[in-house]
Each structure stands twice: as C-alpha cells, then as structure tokens.
Amino acid sequence: MQPIAATIAVTGMNATDNPAPGVAVARSLRHQAGFSGRIIGLGYDALDPGFYAEGLLDGGATMPFPSAGRDALFAHLCRVREEFGIDVLLPTLDSELRAVSTLAEALRAQGIRTFVPTVESLERSTKAHLHKLASYDGVTVPESEPIQTDDALPRLIRRFGLPIMVKGVYYGGIVAHSEADAVQAFHHFVASWGLPVVVQRYIAGEEYNVAAIGDGHGAMIGAVAMRKLMITDKGKGWSGVTVGNPELIEMTEAVISALGWRGPLEVEFLRDRESGKLHVVEINPRFPAWIHLSAGAGQNLPYACAVLALGGEVPRPMPPYRVGTMFVRISLDQICDLSRFEQLSATGLLHLTKESP
C-alpha cells in the first residue's frame, strides 16, 4: 500500500479489561512499513492507558463526552487540528460515529478527513434493525424483536423458547434462562442504555468474528476472520486465531452489500451447534479491539482505512491474510513520569517528543 506521512488522530485510548479499539488501531498504523506520519491519541480520561504506551503516540488530547453534542465535538476537533495539524480522524467507538458521520463534510472543510459509514447505514446496522437483514440474499440472522416494555417477554419466550437472549440497544447481552431472568435483564438494559431492548432467539454454538472495510458502494475492500480462543467475564476476546472460512467472508460481503457500508465494521457470527448454520448475531460499526491481528496476519485494515480516508487507493482485493496467526492479550504496568498525566489533566493536551518521559 502507498506510504502515509500524514497526521492521524485515533480515538478510544482506553485499554482496560474492556478495551476500546484505539490502541490496536494505532499499533496497526505503526506496524506498517510505509507509515512515517504522526499519531495523535484521543480519549475521554487523562488516565486512559493508551496515552502512556511508550512509542505509540506523538501527542494526545482528552475529548468532550459524546453527551456534550456535535457542536462541542466539532469545536474540539478543530482545536486539536490547530494544535497538532491532524489530517485524518479514525473514530473507534460506537458512541462517536453518528456525530462524526454527520460532521464528515464540515470536518473535511477544516482539513480533517474521515472514512465512516452514513447515518442511514449506521441505523440499519443496529441491533434493533438487525433482523431486517434476513431479507437479503446470503445473510442469515436469528429471529429477534425490539421491545419497549417487559409485557412482550412472555409472548417472545413462547415464540423463541428458553433460554433467550436479551440485549441492550447499544451494548451487552444476557442469556435469560427463565421469564424472571428476562425481566431482570430487560430492566438492566433500560437503566443502562434506554429503549428499545432487543430480544433474540438463543443459538448455542461457536463464535466467529470478521473485521472488514466497505467502500460505500456495496463492495468489500478487505476482511479478516478470527475465532476467539479465550474470553473474559465481559465476553471480550483475550486470545484468538485467524481462520480460513470462505463462508464467513462471503456472508460479511453480503452484509456490506446490503448496507452499502463505507468504512470499518466487525460482524459477529455464531455457527449453530445442531444445524451447522451460520448466523449474523451482531454488527459493530467500527474496528474491534483485536484489529491489530489483521496487521500481524498481513492484511492491515486500519492502515488501509487511513489510506482511503486520504483519497488514496489500496489493492483490491487486498492481499490474503495468513491463517493460523494468533494474538494473546496481556496486562502490564506502564511506567512514565507524572508530568505526562499533569499535562493532560491541566490542559487536555499532550505534547510528546522522542525525549518525553
């Protein structure tokens, strides 16, 4: 792929036991031999671990929370551009994408380029609308229904049987083994994320994940498939391995075509243990936290996304990735001088040089 010398801002610097994708995206950029640009990390807390990863960033800034609204986000990104000269913004969190998509043209006018899905595509990819993808050729999804009250649960339990999946509209899922469990899960997600709550037929089987990029015109630019080997108590992959499964890639391509998707996404699959049938169970509208695996396996999707945001070209199709490439996540202590935290806390900005502690 063509070399990049631009300054790229990457959001999502949190890297705890429920990591955001930003650190993995930044590591993928650093991984590419043709990258000679700068990386500016954007996060929501001065203690986000990505700000302290040695050699990862050239600078950083804290962000206003998404609840502050689009105007606050736009003003802050313009400030960050003035400070660091950013050319590309790679958002990595679901909560940011609607605002960034809406602001894409305004950001471009300020010199900040993006490669993100449209608001319409984002809406159609949500859990509440996922069941509608079943009408497209090549896409299989479990039966599901968004609900507004827990009165609907007995009817859906009769329809889907037990156990049943109850999901928050933005995040999380609970397997309910009784009506009481389902009611409790419903109210948990209402309190956490609001309405609707999505109820889905439970499928017992093996989970697979595919990270991919769409071109915005229905075509898939690249894709890497992975099977989780170990998960945390939050359901996050702690280790995984790339797999060679044409069916996963073909169904991901069908999803991208159905949505007219532009930019990165992750498609989560379950293969039914009894029937062997593959189902799309969730679509995440951004790169996953394991995305550095794509760079390690030879198909660097975050770097390709940055090239596309800059208006460049990437090989189509992209080079095949290496099957059998593993990742294993680790926890470690990062050592740095207190001045780095003081900079972020006091000014919201972090200037780093090669000599920075």
Claim to verify: residue 82 and residue 67 sit in the same structural domain: yes
- Give every residue of the chain whose pLDDT is below 50, as ranges: 355-357
Q: Are residues 173 and 222 in the same domain?
A: no
Note whether residue 136 is domain-resident.
no
* 213-238 pLDDT, tens digit each: 999 999 999 999 999 999 887 777 89
Per-residue pLDDT tens digits for 285-303: 999 999 999 999 999 999 9
- Contacts made by residues 103-111, CB under 8 angstroms, sequence distance 24+: 103/70, 103/73, 103/74, 103/77, 106/74, 107/74, 107/77, 110/77, 110/78, 110/81, 111/81, 111/87
Question: What distance in Å separates the CA atoms of residue 343 and residue 34, rounded to the nearest whole number?
Answer: 31
Q: Are residues 190 and 274 in the same domain?
A: no
Pair of tokens at residue 263: 């930019």
Last residue of a domain, one of 181, 201, 221: 201
The sign of the CA dihedral 96, 101, 102, 106 is: positive
SS3 at position 213: strand
Of 186, 201, 216, the position where a domain reaches its end is 201
Residue 229 is assigned to a structural domain of this protein: yes
- Of the candidates 45, 6, 14, the residue with the CA atom closest to the CA atom of residue 341: 45
Domain boundary among 173, 201, 229: 201
Distance between CA atoms of residues 76 and 55, nearest Å: 25
134 part of a folded domain: no
If asked whether residues 179 and 283 sit together in one domain, one would say: no
**HEC sequence for 254-290:** HHHHHHCCEEEEEEEEEEECCCCCEEEEEEECCCCCC
Domain extent for 210: 204-328
Q: Which amino acid is at 353?
A: T
Cβ contacts of residue 89 below 8 Å, gap of 6+?
8, 9, 11, 77, 100, 107, 112, 113, 114, 309
> 259 lies in a domain?
yes
Q: Model's pTM, two decimal places?
A: 0.94
Residues 104 and 179 in one domain: no
Number of domains in the chain: 3
Q: Where is 307: in which H helix or E strand?
A: helix 301-309
Average pLDDT over all residues of the chain:
94
Is 123 a member of any domain? no
On whether residue 2 sits in a domain, the answer given is no
42-76: burial string, b at 16+ Cβ within 10 Å, e else? bbbebebbbbbbeebbbbbbbbeebeeeeeebbeb
Residue 357: what pLDDT?
45
Question: Is 187 found in the same domain as 157?
Answer: yes
Q: What is the DSSP string of 194-206?
A: -S-EEEEE---EE
Distance, CA of 219 to CA of 213 (rounded, Å): 9
Evaluate whether residue 105 is within a structural domain: yes
Task: Please tell me the distance from the alpha carbon of residue 291 to that of residue 104, in angstroms, as a whole number.
Answer: 23
For residue 345, the domain's CATH number is 3.40.50.20
Structure tokens at 149: 């009250």
pLDDT of residue 354: 55
Q: For residue 287, what pLDDT is reported?
A: 98
Whether 176 and 225 map to the same domain: the answer is no
Where do we find the tokens 């690249």? Answer: 222
Q: Please indicate, yes or no, whether residues 324 and 215 belong to a single structural domain of this protein.
A: yes
